Structure formats: structure tokens, C-alpha cells
Structure 1
Amino acid sequence: MKETRTVLESADISRALTRISHEIVESNKGVDGLVLVGIPTRGTILAQRIAEIISRIDGSTPVAVGSLDITLYRDDLARNPMRPSQPTEMPVTGIDGTTVVLVDDVLFSGRTVRSALDALNDHGRPKVVRLAALIDRGHRELPIRADFIGKNLPSAKDERISVRLEELDGEDSVTIS
């Protein structure tokens, strides 16, 4: 049996998301024209949490949040069984001319983000696209990097990083096994 160790607990995740939120506001020079778009499933939850934190930081109107299903844009559909698609929900104001921050739980090879960029193009043309990830574990196969990172977590390719969030899993934690 493989050993599983917890690398982030609830308080650690909360601090990481608060730091990411501050960095997003600073980078964008406020919240005007800012849209957070989560990659289902956990990326969407993280985007909603970041939007709540930004609203508390900035005290202004809520940040628009969307969810972007990338299932049909993946380049591994032939090798991996297709998982059920999730709903794509873009803000009613759209994303044209906005600063979109894609949010995902774990950045690994970069292929999920590449798929998300392709899918995003079908919904509009943002002014800028940034990437926020709770965990960056390395092992990139594509030239993609996160602009906002909760924690760099170097790992072996055969290790598994699991992000658990209260809304889905009943607890907040990140484990490696």
C-alpha cells in the first residue's frame, strides 16, 4: 500500500487562496474587467472561493465567475474514456475584452490548460488570459506556466496529487501518494 501524506490542510488552502486573490487584484490593478473561469470540477469551486475573497478585499461589486467544460477539447479522448461533460457557464456580460483568469486545482503537464484555452476561444476573445492553480507539480509537456500559484509541489510523475474540497469531499486538503 502506498503512503499518503497531507501537504496542505484547510488553513493552508485558505491562506494560499487569499494570497492568490491579492495577487490577482494587484496584477489587474483592481477588479474592473476581471472574470474568473474555473475548470470543472474543483477549479470551478476554487474560482468561486477566489471571487468571494476578492469581493472582501476590494469591497466592490462581485467578480464575475464562469465554468468552462473542456472535455471535447482534450487531446487524449482516444486513449482515455470520456468523462461526463460539465456545464459551461460564462458570465452574461461575456468575456470579450476582459481579463480572464483560468482557475484549476493542479497544474501538471499543461494539456488541460491547452484544452481550456481552445475552449475559451469558442466563447469570446478576452484581452488577456492568466492562469491560477492551487498546486503546480511540474512535469510540463507544453510551454504553459501559472501566473498565480498556491503551492509549488515537486513530485514524481507516478505520484498522485489529490485535492479535496469541502463542497465536494467534505474537507479541504491536498495529499500526495
Structure 2
Amino acid sequence: MVDDRSTTAQTAPAPPAPSARPVLEAPDIARVLTRIAHEIVERAKGADDVVLLGIPTRGVFLARRLADKLAEITGRGTAVGSLDITMYRDDLRLHPPRALARTEIPGDGIDGRLVILVDDVLFSGRTIRAALDALNDIGRPRAVQLAVLVDRGHRELPIRADYVGKNLPTSLRETVKVLLTEEDGRDSVLLGQRLKERSEGAGSGAGPDGPEGPSGADTAPAADR
């Protein structure tokens, strides 16, 4: 007699990925970057001593775009570079080792200059706290400001952005994913929903707002910013 009952547990199909809706498209992103550039020129009374430092990955691309916008407005080039914050994060023990990004500081350095950190999404503020620590090991700027494409709220540290492309109220169950042409093939900001845990205690033990990585879109890389 053949027992035709399966001896292996049936695996439930994975739930479909929640749909995400665009909150900014390419023309909107270009428009807010132009506005931020004008705000920088107005507040800095020009951009002669401004240094833009992008936080990898997408913050670097945004910093370069802002530098181009500033050049269009002022007719002069703006120093631009990148600042890797990997080794300054406070969650290194919680995540697998990750590759270091490049830190590139303009030749004239940052001492006595206005440094504007540039990132895609501002969330908890922990990435910016790490960036300030990294900056402290490089030089002593005259002042430090922060420009972000999206501020989604839910700060865990007393950090705020000086220049914001879009204030986007969110819940902790929502995700904000930034796509940029240089990295993703198109420009867009998408608002979506996190997948619920499949079962209690499943996976690594992280909840729906559990560990994410250091940079990029906050559905994985930038959710803890």
C-alpha cells in the first residue's frame, strides 16, 4: 500500500509585494533641487565657500546635481565630494559587514568652509549623526548644514534638515524609496507599505521596522536615516 500523503510541510505562497505609489517624479525632483539651490545661494550669500558632501549612495548623485544647479545660478563651480559614514554607524553589530564607500574631499578641504551634507531620505537621524562624527575626523568647517530630498519624520535624535525637497508624513509601516537615474535608471520617489512578518519569530527576529542598511532607498538601505 502506498501512502500518498506528503511527508513535507506545505509552504504557503509568499504574499504579493505591496504596491508603491509615486509621490515625486523626475520633473518634481528637478524642480525641488532647483529650489534648494536657490535657497543655498540666498542663505549662504553666494556659494563661494560652500562644499557639498553627498552621503553614499544616492546622496552623492544628489550633491552633484545640486552643484550643477548652483553653477547655473552663480556662474561658478561649487566644490562637491562624498562622505562615507559606514564605520561611524551605531548599528555595525546588528548588520553583516558591508563594503566601504569612498570618501572624497575637495582639494581645498573643509576647514573654515560651509559644508552642506546631502542625503536622499531623512528618517531617524542616525545616519546624519554618523556623518557629523565622520566629518569631525576630517576637518573643522565654519558651519554644517543638511539638505535632503525627502524628510519623512520619526526622528530619534535632535537633528533637522536646513533644506528639504519634500516633507512627507509617513507611518512606521510605510517605506520611502528614492530612485535616481544614475543608480536606478529613472527618477522617482515611491511611498509603499512594509511586508508583515510571515510568522512570529520568523526570519532574523527583526520586526517590520527592523535593521536596514546605510544608504540609498529606505525600503532597505536608508530606512534608519
> Any unmatched runs of 5+ in structure 2?
1-15, 193-225
The equivalent of 1:9 in structure 2 is 25
Q: 1:47 aligns with which of 32, 56, 63?
A: 63
* 1:27 maps onto 2:43 in alignment: yes
> Percent identity among equivalent residues?
61
> Which position in structure 1 is the counterpart of 2:214?
none
Matched residues in 1 for 2:26 and 2:98: separation? 28
Q: Distance in 2 between matches of 1:41 and 1:55?
A: 22
Tell me the amino acid that sits aligned with residue 88 of structure 2: Y
Letter of the 1:117 partner, please give it: L
Alignment deviations for residues 114-139 of structure 1 (CA, whole Å, 9 cap, x no partner):
00000011110000000000000000
1:84 maps to a residue whose letter is A
Equivalent of 2:182, from 164, 167, 173?
167
**Over residues 68-92 of structure 1, what are the superposed CA-to-partner deviations in whole Å (9 max), with x where a residue is unaligned?**
0000000011112232110100001
The residue aligned with 1:79 is 94
Give 1:3 shift: 2.2
Indicate conservation of the 8 Å contact 1:71/1:82, yes or no: no
Q: Runs of 4+ in structure 1 displaced over 3 angstroms?
A: none
Q: Which ranges in structure 1 are unaligned for 5 or more consecutive residues? A: none
After superposition, residues 13-162 of structure 1 pair within 5 angstroms as: 13-60=29-76, 62-162=77-177
C-alpha separation between the residues in 2 aligned to 1:137 and 1:121?
A: 26
SS at match of 1:116: helix
- Look at both structures and tell me which one has the larger radius of gyration over its CA atoms: 2
- 3-state SS in 2 of match to 1:37: strand
Taking structure 2 as the reference length, the TM-score comes to 0.77
Q: SS where residue 183 of structure 2 aligns?
A: helix
Question: How many angstroms apart in 1 are the aligned matches of 2:149 and 2:58?
Answer: 10
Measure how far apart 1:15 and its partner are.
Answer: 0.4
Q: State the distance in 1 between where 2:141 and 2:135 align.
A: 9
Cα deviations by residue, 1:31-85 (Å, 9 ceiling, x for unpaired)? 121100000000000000000000001112x100010000000001111223211
In 2, Cα distance between the equivalents of 1:118 and 1:167?
Answer: 28
RMSD value, Cα: 0.7
